Amino acid sequence: MDFTFSEEQEQVRDMVRRFCATEMAPLVFEAEETETFPREMFRKWGELGLLGVRYPADDGGSGMDKVSDCIIREEMSYVSQAFSSSWSAHSHLGIWPIWRAGTDDQKERFFKPALAGEKIAAFGLSEPDVGSNIRALKTRAEKVEGGWRINGAKMYITNSPIADFMLLAARTDPEISPKSISLFIVELPNDGFQINSLKKEGIRASETGLIYIEDAFVPDDCLLGAETGTYPIILESLTENRVGVAANSLGIARAAMDASISYARERAIGSRKVGDFQAIQHKIADMAAEIEAAKWLVYYGAWRVDNDTLDQATASKVKLIASETALRATEQAIRIHGGAGIMREYPVGRFHRDALVYVIGEGTSEVQRNLIARSLELSS
């Protein structure tokens, strides 16, 4: 067993940490206050090869492993979870299925420009009445001459207000089964798409949309893969991404702990520093222990991805522990800061709002517990 990062992985961490400090951090406060994402960030990510982390060099990617992907997520989320969420929705969910199942033409038109940050991607899966039950999607795609006519609705879709294209999941048959779900590449704007920006408590700078779809036409050459062959790709993508968003949660938790340590060392109450009080010391000690445990579970999950042995239950364990750790750490950070913790000049309130996103998004903690319990064969 080897619990060390390679020299190359440490170099990735150093590079991303410097980039986040110099290029991202100065933009975060304004982006959060205005709830707008700075689109130019995608080109900067593309120039550094950060959008192609999980793709082979032969396909235009950076050819890195999942451990490196999680390092990048952790460091980005340490500075801004909103920026990291937009990066993740684009670089993984929005283009990974195109890389896996797209035609050469689809890769040239969408995948390669997305790797360069020239086009922004979104992934349209969640729906108002469906929740986490992917098989029950209601958005319908009907075959018409030259393409498909799509009707339905999507909600909580990251990047959709600024996206140049969206990977959209729709039902091609009324039967509720995996074979009836297909993915379509929808170029935006599209006359049949009405995208409304949502106001959020967490990840405010990551633009999110509610989408109404009425008679939207998508040509045949924008159907991804065979009509009945993309449901397994969706599941595969979501399972790996749970390890990824666990790394996002790890970054938030670390940021909350470091802010708490800094505040405890500097803030004086009378003749004593906040960090002199045992109650505060215990809170930070608990953070340190839980974050260390979550860290190694996250990178164990990444190692499983790299060794092609990741299973759904393990991905759920990783995501559950990391997201709940981030939630507890960020709440304690606010308590440690006292009144300052609810002031926007301090970042810990933002950390907590952002941590709440990942006990809900990418499968709630309750869904993760259901999947873990199912693997234990507890019910008959």
* Spatial separation of the C-alpha atoms in residues 252 and 257, rounded to whole Å: 9
Backbone angles phi, psi at 171, to 5 degrees: -90, 130
Task: Say if CB 280 and CB 264 are below 8 A apart.
Answer: yes
* Spatial separation of the C-alpha atoms in residues 276 and 374, rounded to whole Å: 46
Q: Catalytic pick from 8, 175, 362, 366?
A: 362
Active-site annotation holds for 362: yes
Which among 288, 283, 272 has a CA at the least distance from the CA of 337?
A: 283
293 Cβ partners below 8 Å, 6+ apart?
321, 325
* Spatial separation of the C-alpha atoms in residues 377 and 296, rounded to whole Å: 26
Sign of CA dihedral 207, 211, 215, 220: positive
Task: Say if CB 46 and CB 116 are below 8 A apart.
Answer: yes
The total of other beta-carbon atoms located within 10 Å of residue 6's CB is: 12
Known catalytic residues are 362
